[in-house]
Structures are given as C-alpha cells and as structure tokens.
C-alpha cells in the first residue's frame, strides 16, 4: 500500500485516548480538522491555472433549444469558453457506466446531451472563465431561445395516469400481498380509510455540490467531488468519457452532508470534466444554492391507507396504496408501501405502488427513502384506528406486534422493538397520557402526546479493507469508504483499535479515494455493517500474521501458542496465562526485519444465512407538542426515540445520527416543502430564505435510547446494524399524532403548516 495520501491524513484521536471498546462515547477523530478549517472540501482544492465554470439553467420545463446566443457572453472579461450541446466533448451512454457502479440503477440525466429540455432548471450551457465572478457574470449574458411544449408537474391532478413501474431499480422489491384484504376489510367492525400526502423535499446539505478537476501534465484527472462514493464517480467519468480508470482518481476525504444527494454523480461533475477535457486545464464547478434545487428531490407522494380491526383491536386487514412521481427519463422507484407488510401481524395485506411521469428531474434517494413517507402514512392511520377503537395507540401496536415478518413468514434476525416501546414509554411518561384529545393545556397552548413506530432495512454489501501495521506502531486501515459527516472515520478507527488492542491515537483510517480498496457508496445505513465488518476481518487476519511472526522468532515463548492463547493489548502481544511474556508489536516487526505488515479482507454478506431471516432496524418515537390554535403555531418540545439497531459501536456518533434524524423528522413534519408553480413547472422557493428547515429555536429536548441487540446474522463480525436512516422514520407521524391529541384536528399531509391548522387541509383526491 502507498504511503498516506496527504488529503487523507486525518488526525488520529488525541494522545491519551487509550483503549476503546464498542459502545464507548468517543469524540470524532476528525473533529479538530473540521472545526479548525484543516479539513478541505470539494471546492477548496487549488491548482495552477484553475478556471471556474458556472452552469446556465433552462427556464422552461419541456421542449427544445432553438438557439443559444453566446456573443455577449463570449466577449465578457475573463471568459475562456462556453460549452453547449453543440460543442461539448463526446459522451457515451451513461447507462453503460452504471452497470458497474453501486449507485442506484436507472438512466441518470446527461447534461448538455442534446437540444431536448426535460425539466425546468436543466443545465443548457457551461461558462468557463478565469474567475468565478467572471463566469457568473457571463452566464447571465447567455441568451437561449426555446420551443416550449406542454408540461405536467402536478401529481394530485394526474393520479389517473399512474402505471406500474417498468424496469426495476437494483435493490427495489415490488410489494407483495397475502390473504384477501378487501374481503376482510369489508367484514371488519372497525375501519379507517383515508388519503395521505407528502410534498416535495429537497436536499440542503451545508456543502453545496462541487467538483474540482485537476488535470496533470500527463492528462491524469484528479477530481475532488462531493459524493457518497468516490469509485462510483470514477466509473462514471471513465466510462462516459471513454477514459482508462487509471487516468482518473476521485477523492472525497470530507463531505459536508449528502444523505442521498451524493449517491449518483450530479451534473456539476460531468460539466467540470467536459471543460477540463475540452480546454486541457483544471476546472472547478460549484452549484449555487438555487441550483441545488435542480438535480433531484424526495418525490411527492399520495397514499391511500385502509386498516380494519376486530373489536379487540386485532388487525384484520392492511391495505396501502401509493402513487409517486418520476421523470420522463426513467422509472425512479422507492420502497414506500412495503413497510406496511413488515410492522404488524395481520393475515390479510394488500400493497400497491404506482408512478406518474412528470416533466421534472428524476427524484433521488433522500434519508430513509420510501420509509420516511410510507411509514408516516401507515403510522398516522394506526393512530386513527386507535381512536376509532377507543384504545391507547401504544396498546394497539403491542396487540399487533409481529414476532415473524407478516408476509414472508420469516423470523427476524433480531427484534428488540418491544423493548423500545417499553423504554421509550417509561422515559417519556406515556402512562400518564389521557386518551381524549384537547385535555392538556398550559397557558395559551394545547399540549399533545403522540407516538409512532419506525423501521428500516439492515443492509450489508461487499467491500475490501486493508490493515497495515507499521514499524513505528501505527495501524493504517484503508478502504474507499466515505464519511458524509456520519462519523465513519471515528467508528472504523474504534473497530480497528478494539480488534488490535491498540490505543485509538495509534490508528488511522484512510477513506475517500478511488484508488483505495473497493467500497460501496455510503448509503442505506450500511457502512458499519459492511466496511466495519471488513475492518474487523482485516484486523483478525493481521493478528494471525503477527502471531506467526512471533512464533518464528528464535526461542520464542509464543512458538506453540494458538490464537486463543494470546492477547493483543496496549500495542503488544502477550500470553493470556503468562502476562509477563509480552512482546511490543514494534519490537516484533523490528526483530522480523520488517517495516510494515499488511493484510487484506474481502467482506461479503452471509447470503445463505441471511435469506432465512427478515433483517431490520426498529424504533419507537414518543413526541410532545404544544399548539397555539389562535396562531396555528406548533412547537415540538420533547422527543424520546428508542432504537434497536444491533450492537452500538460508537455511542456518541450513533446517538448523534438518531438525534439528527429526529431534527429532520420535525422539519419534515412542520417545515420542509418545495412549492411548484405548475404554470411554469418550476420550484419557486429555491433558497434558504423560503425553503423552511428546522432551526435551533424549533428544537428542544431530544433523548435517544438504545435497546440491547446483538445481531450476528446481519453482521457476523460485529453484531451491528445501521443507525443513519432510522432516526427520521416515524418522527413526522409522531408529531402529527401529537397534534391530533392536542387539538382534535386530524392532519394527513406534510408539512403541517399554520394555514392547515387554522383553515384545514385541502381535500385530497379519492382513489383514481
């Protein structure tokens, strides 16, 4: 393995951190680099002669480009070139690039590919200049003439055009059904039948999408990109532009948030590469905040949920249908309704999922894709059923607790959801909750308590990891993983330090470079179970190698020792029964005349074993709201989120992930929505001033609890699951249910804004 890559020379933990073990609350090893500005992001890497690109975006939603007038823009000061569909470098089919990538499958958008306009905001030109300011000025001088065609962007007005998804995205499981749900629903004495709706949401990470392409004298491209997978982007660039992968290196050592927006390469990457190839220069392209609203979003979704129960509260039927938007370019799909067939025991389940094609950019994955919307609809419907039964909402869920997966009939690899219910309810004080709405008040505010269940898949992928012990006692562990702010650097270093019995400050984890051992994208809450298991596996192989070296030393006390007879602790190898027989690892390498020892591990899922089980992460969310009815204002004053996510490796970063998910769930419930003017097919509130997100004043007490689990089916090496996605799931439903308990007003759409509390929701369409 090569020496440490300068940009990836992540500071290790402070001296004195000492030994670590799973479950400890360890501060981030990259924290100091981030707060001091030492960490450099995609748009912060310099190169001699670097030039700057600014994209020009379309103003129509559907049609074609008739003419692009570049005269004024080309004569502007500092302009070097302007790329359009007429003069761009040759591009190959982007679908070809995706066959070898771990990004979501489908037909990714190709910028500047032709004169066709597929959505408002589509890039139609790239202005390249000597400075960002010059490029931005010239971009405003580009004049584009369009031939506009009729467009469609209104989901609720086009539900009747819904169709079954065509080619399926990799990893998408079409919904299944069992029994005769329609017959059971008709026969049941207690029923709920309602429509639910979730508006469009956009990713707004702190770091905007950017690509800095540094061209070497030999033509090699070193690309710093905001991405959740450096190797994804390398495959994309090499295949689309016909370059050898040895001519492209992609790095993403630091990523300022992504949560799905970086799973696919976004359009600034091919634009920057086009310019670098065309001009044979280094180029940087950074999207503006407004342009962050022009490459994908969490899709708008309509649901119809029907639940039926007997008089004791046992579910007789679950029926969940969803219709979601997609683009004209592909059938983007999400697992929206499948969760309704996983959470509760029921003999009759009917699930349906359809799409409507619109003149918009393809939706893209956004934290807990599908579940954030699907579970919201189900869990609000469950609350409605509880009131129809005059039953406590938690008691209803416990009454229908699923010990095996309802549709598949498989046991769960582990499931401590019942313990989550117990822990969360006890900490929240749920037993003191009055059943009837509008019974709690404090001053001018009504007080309400609501709860919901959360669920997410436990995913494991394929990865390679290298572990290298060096003569100075440092352990360098490497994989082309990513850290989008979730704590990958820290948790991987913890796993390695615990496995090798080394102080944390002696461990360095290298990630964020496409030349490192292969790794999947950081998505789906799979990095700990995948990369982390690979780290543990590589360290186990390294320990065996070190024992063999110790056995080979002259007159070695370890000559006949086996792995079970020895211990790795404090940077040394010792005999368990003779602790005095201790050999520092630095001395072992010196005696073996080696400056480093390296082992590699291929992490693969236990497919045969995993197929026998349903693997999932669960949560129970309890929420308190205070509502000022006169103003229509809602405050979420208290949340308890109890999570069952396998063995928790890093308590501090895991709790932080869940807490951040809760904040986003509150934002989904009360604030976030991108509004479309359907006359223009354009998102109108494309800035931080008008796209509302939760801020500090909106967030109060959030407590995170973890139930004990140890899942060796999901993760043989660690017993862990993922915690990144689960934090948001169920939060919006818990908030909605708490608002009903406070006010008696049932609101079935997100976000729940003051106008809806004051005037009521607009009527949703019935079944198309």
| Residues taking part in catalysis | 725
Residue by residue, DSSP assigns 659-711 as HHHHHHHHHHHHT----EETTTTEES--STTTS----GGG--EEEEEE-----
Helix (H) or strand (E) holding 475, with range, is strand 475-478
The token pair at 297 is 């979003």
Closest-CA residue to 467 (of 546, 379, 570): 546
Contact 275, 162 (CB under 8 A): no
d(CA 404, CA 71): 68
Strands of the sheet with 116-117, listed across from one edge: 116-117, 63-69, 143-148
Helix (H) or strand (E) holding 624: strand 616-628
Q: 521-540 burial, b for 16+ CB within 10 Å, e for fewer?
A: bbbbbbbbbbbbbbbbbbbb
Give the integer Cα–Cα distance in Å for 531 and 433: 43
Burial of 167 from C-beta contacts in 10 A (0-12 / 13-18 / 19+):
exposed
CA angle 372, 374, 379 (to 5 degrees): 95
Give the HSE-up count for residue 304: Cα atoms under 13 Å, Cβ half-sphere.
15
Exposed / middle / buried, residue 767 (Cβ in 10 Å: 0-12, 13-18, 19+): exposed
Sheet holding 566-569, edge to edge: 566-569, 572-575, 582-584
Contact 152, 98 (CB under 8 A): no
Taking the CA atoms of 472, 477, 482 and 486 in sequence, report the sign of the dihedral they define. negative
CB 29 within 8 A of CB 490: yes
3-state secondary structure of 535: helix
Which residue do the tokens 């690892």 mark?
A: 585
Q: How far lies 655's CA from each of 74, 414, 473, 659, 662, in Å?
A: 52, 20, 31, 6, 11
Count CB-CB contacts under 10 A for residue 618.
Answer: 30
Q: The tokens 């393809």 sit on which residue?
A: 362
């Amino acid at each position: 393995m090569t020496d440490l890559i300068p940009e990836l020379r992540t500071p290790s933990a402070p001296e004195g951190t000492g030994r670590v073990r799973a479950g400890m609350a360890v501060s981030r090893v990259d924290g100091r680099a981030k707060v001091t500005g030492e960490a450099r992001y995609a748009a912060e890497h310099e190169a001699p002669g670097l030039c700057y690109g600014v994209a020009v975006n379309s103003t129509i939603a559907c049609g074609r480009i008739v003419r692009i007038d570049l005269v004024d823009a080309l004569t502007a000061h500092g302009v070097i070139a302007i790329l359009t569909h007429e003069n761009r470098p040759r591009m190959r089919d982007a679908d070809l690039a995706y066959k070898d990538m771990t990004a979501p499958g489908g037909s990714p958008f190709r910028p500047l590919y032709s004169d066709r306009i597929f959505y408002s905001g589509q890039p139609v030109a790239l202005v390249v200049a000597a400075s960002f300011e010059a490029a931005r000025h010239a971009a405003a001088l580009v004049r584009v003439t369009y031939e506009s065609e009729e467009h469609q962007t209104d989901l609720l007005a086009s539900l009747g055009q819904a169709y079954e998804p065509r080619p399926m995205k990799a990893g998408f499981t079409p919904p299944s059904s069992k029994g005769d749900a329609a017959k059971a629903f008709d026969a049941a004495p207690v029923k709920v039948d309602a429509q639910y709706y979730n508006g469009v949401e956009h990713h707004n990470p702190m770091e905007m999408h950017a690509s800095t392409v540094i061209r070497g004298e030999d033509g090699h491209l070193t690309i710093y990109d905001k991405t959740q997978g450096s190797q994804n982007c390398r495959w994309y660039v090499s295949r689309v532009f016909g370059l050898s992968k040895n001519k492209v290196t992609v790095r993403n050592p630091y990523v300022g948030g992504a949560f799905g927006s970086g799973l696919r390469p976004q359009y600034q990457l091919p634009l920057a590469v086009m310019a670098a190839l065309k001009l044979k220069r280094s180029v940087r392209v950074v999207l503006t905040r407004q342009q962050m609203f022009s490459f994908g979003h969490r899709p708008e979704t309509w649901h119809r949920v029907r639940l039926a129960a007997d008089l004791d509260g046992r579910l007789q039927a679950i029926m969940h249908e969803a219709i979601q938007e997609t683009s004209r370019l592909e059938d983007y799909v999400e697992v929206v309704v499948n969760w309704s067939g996983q959470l509760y025991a029921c003999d009759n389940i009917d699930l349906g999922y359809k799409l409507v094609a619109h003149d918009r950019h393809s939706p893209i994955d956004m934290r807990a894709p599908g579940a954030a919307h699907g579970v919201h609809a189900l869990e609000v419907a469950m609350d409605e059923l509880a009131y129809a039964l005059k039953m406590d909402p938690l008691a209803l869920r416990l009454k229908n607790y699923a010990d095996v997966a309802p549709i598949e009939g498989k046991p769960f690899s582990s499931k401590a959801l019942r313990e989550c219910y117990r822990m969360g309810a006890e900490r929240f004080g749920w037993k003191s909750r009055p059943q009837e709405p509008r019974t709690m008040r404090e001053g001018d505010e009504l007080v309400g308590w609501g709860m919901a269940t959360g669920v997410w898949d436990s995913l494991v992928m394929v990865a390679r990891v290298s572990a290298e012990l060096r003569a100075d006692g440092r352990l360098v562990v490497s994989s082309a993983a990513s850290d989008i702010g979730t704590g990958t650097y820290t948790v991987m270093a913890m796993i390695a330090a615990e496995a090798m019995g080394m102080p944390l400050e002696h461990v360095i984890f290298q990630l964020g470079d496409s030349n490192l051992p292969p790794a999947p994208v950081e998505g789906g809450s799979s990095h700990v179970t995948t990369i982390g298991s690979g780290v543990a596996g590589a360290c186990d192989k390294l320990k065996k190698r070190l024992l063999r070296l110790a056995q080979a030393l002259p007159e070695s006390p370890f000559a006949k020792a086996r792995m079970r007879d020895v211990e790795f602790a404090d940077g040394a190898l010792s005999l368990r029964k003779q602790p005095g027989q201790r050999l520092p690892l630095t001395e072992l390498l010196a005696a073996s005349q080696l400056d480093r020892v390296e082992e590699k591990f291929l992490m693969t899922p236990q497919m045969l074993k995993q197929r026998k089980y349903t693997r999932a992460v669960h949560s129970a969310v309890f929420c308190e709201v205070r509502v000022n009815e006169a103003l229509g204002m809602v405050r979420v004053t208290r949340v308890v989120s109890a999570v069952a996510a396998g063995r928790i490796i890093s308590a501090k970063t895991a709790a932080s992930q869940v807490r951040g998910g809760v904040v986003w769930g509150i934002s989904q419930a009360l604030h976030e929505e991108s509004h479309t003017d359907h006359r223009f097919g354009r998102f109108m509130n494309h800035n931080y001033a008008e796209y509302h997100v939760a801020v500090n004043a909106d967030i109060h007490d959030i407590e995170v609890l973890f139930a004990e689990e140890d899942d060796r089916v999901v993760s043989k090496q660690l017993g862990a699951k993922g915690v990144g996605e689960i934090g948001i799931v169920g939060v919006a439903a818990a908030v909605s249910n708490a608002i009903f308990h406070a006010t008696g007003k049932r609101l079935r759409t997100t976000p729940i804004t003051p106008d809806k509390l004051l005037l009521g929701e607009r009527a949703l369409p019935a079944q198309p």
